[in-house]
Amino acid sequence: MKILEALLAQIRAHGEATYPEECCGLLLGKSSPEGNHVQALFPVQNRHAEQRERRYTIAPADYLAAERAARQQGLDVVGFYHSHPDHPAQPSATDLAEATFPGYTYVIVSVQQGQAKELTAWRLAMDRSRFEPETIELETQTAPANQP
C-alpha cells in the first residue's frame, strides 16, 4: 500500500479523537496489481449500536457517500481504516468475520491510553479466509484535504 505520510497522521489523529471508542473511515485511491495507492481519506462516524470501544460499523449511506466522493476525484474506494483502543494493531476474529471486500486494504491503528501507536495494513485474501500483511510505502508530498 502506498500512502502519504500526512494521511497516516490523519488516521492516527482520528483514532485519538474518538478514543476510547473505535474510529473508522474509508481509503480512497487507485488499485493495481502491486497494491492499493491511497490518495485520500473519508472519515465516518462509528455507527455501531453498542460496544463502540470494541466494534465499528460503517453505515451503507456513509459508504455510498464515500463512493460518490471518490468518483468526483477520479478515485475508487480501495479499503477501510479503524482503530483498536488499548489493543494491538492486529486484525481480530471479528474483523475477519465482518470483512467483505477481498483485495481491499484494511488499516488498523492501535491507540493506547489515548495515544496512537502502531499502525499496520492488511489485505483480505480473495477467499476471505485470512488477512495478509501489507507493506506500507510512504509518500512525502502534501495530503489533500479531508472529505466531509
- Residue-level pLDDT at 145: 54
Q: What domains appear along the chain, each with residue ranges and CATH number?
A: 1-136 (3.40.140.10)
By the 10 Å C-beta count (0-12 exposed, 13-18 middle, 19+ buried), 100 is classed as exposed
Question: What's the pTM?
Answer: 0.93
Identify the DSSP state of 30.
E
Q: Which of 5, 21, 22, 139 is catalytic?
A: 22
Asked if 80 and 25 count as a contact pair (C-beta separation under 8 A), the reply is: yes
Q: Is 50 a catalytic residue?
A: no
pLDDT along the chain (148 residues), means of 10: 97 99 98 94 95 94 98 98 98 96 97 98 96 94 56
Q: Which pLDDT value is given to residue 33?
A: 86
Start-to-end CA span in the chain (Å): 24
